[in-house]
Structure 1
Amino acid sequence: MEMIPSYILLEALGSEFDDYTYLPAVGTHGGILLAWKSREVRITDPMFTTNALTAKVSGADPTPWWISIVYGPQDDEEKVTFLDELRHIRATCAGPWLLCGDFNLIYHDEDKNNSNLNRRHMGKFRRCINDLALKEIYLNGRRLTWTNGQDPPTLVLLDRAFCTSDWEDLIGECHLRCLAFVLSDHRPLLLDCTPSPAAHRRFRFEEFWLRQDGFHDVVTAAWNSVSNPDPLQRLWLRLQATANALKSWSARTVGSARQRMAICREVIARFDKAQEDRLLTPPERWLHQTLKVTYLGLASLERTIARQRSRLAMLKDGDANSAYFYQHSSFRRQKNRIYSVLSDGHVLSDHKDMAEAAFAHFDAMLGTDSRRDISLELQDLIATSENLQDLDAPFTEAEIWNAI
Structure 2
Amino acid sequence: MGAAGGLLSIWNSAVFKCNGSYIHKNFIASSGYLVGVDQCVGFINIYGPSVDADKQCFFGELLEFLSNKPLPWCLVGDFNAIVSREEKIGMNFNCHLAEIFRSFIQDANLMDLPLHGGAFTWSNRRDPPTFVRLDRVLVHHSFIILFNDLRQLLLPSSVSDHNAICLEDSKIDWGPRPFKLFNYMLEEEKFQEMVVGEIDVALRHNPNLDLFSMLKRSKRVIKDWSHTISIPSASSVKEVEGKITRIEQELQGGLVSSNMVAELASLKKHIWDLLRTEERIWAQKSRSRWLVEGDRNSKYFHSVASNKRRINSINTLDYKGSVITNPMEIRNCVFEFFSEAYNTCTTLEVESLDLEFRKLPQSYREGLEKEFTMEEV
TM beyond 0.5: no
TM-score, structure 2 length as denominator?
Answer: 0.44
* More contact order relative to length (CA 8 Å, sep ≥ 6): 2
